[in-house]
Amino acid sequence: MPETIIIHLTINGTGRSFRTPPGRRLLDLIRDDAGQTGTKEGCGAGECGACTVLLDGLPIPSCLVLAASCEGHEITTVEGLVHDGSPHAVQEAMVETGGVQCGFCTPGVIMTSVALLENSIDDREEQGRRLAGNLCRCTGYEKIFHALEVAGTTDD
């Protein structure tokens, strides 16, 4: 097995190349190599959702994905949601509704919420099922659901 490989992927709209060990997790590449530290490591086992990023628009736990498997794909982190200095509607709504508390789970919750809205999933029960992979101990989820309602009614 080679000591390092070169992978090419797009992070937050910018094409990047990385020399990395083949077994490196996407989470580590994002944080340590790409410098996108908004993505958090919680459990390291894919159960808490703190490390959620979008892979080609779909939310994934980056702690469970090998960086090499993302060759040629697009990764969006929470930093990538800001455009021209303006936060995404979900980010604004989370602040407005109090959906942000301690902030540790927030990046992952925001990334899952963005995917929900971009895929027009507005049924609260379905939103609840999909947000189940994002553990939050501070908000009780009601404020997160309210933020989804607010963000869903604004133009991004």
Min mean pLDDT across 12-16, 88-92, 137-141 is at: 137-141
Q: Is the pLDDT of residue 138 over 50?
A: yes
Q: Are 40 and 63 in contact (CB under 8 A)?
A: no
Q: Cα separation of 128 and 96, whole Å? A: 20
- Judge whether 5-81 and 89-152 match in fold: no
Q: What is the pLDDT of residues 42-90, one digit of tens each?
A: 999 999 999 999 999 999 999 999 999 999 999 999 999 999 999 999 9
Q: Is the pLDDT of residue 106 over 70?
A: yes
**Domain residue spans of the chain:** 5-81, 89-152
Determine whether domain 89-152 maps to CATH 3.30.530.20.
Answer: no
Residue 58 bridge partners (DSSP): 55
Sequence-separated contacts (24+) of 60-64 with Cβ below 8 Å: 61/133, 62/25, 62/26, 62/27, 62/30, 63/25, 63/26, 63/27, 64/25
Assigned architecture for domain 5-81: Roll (3.10)
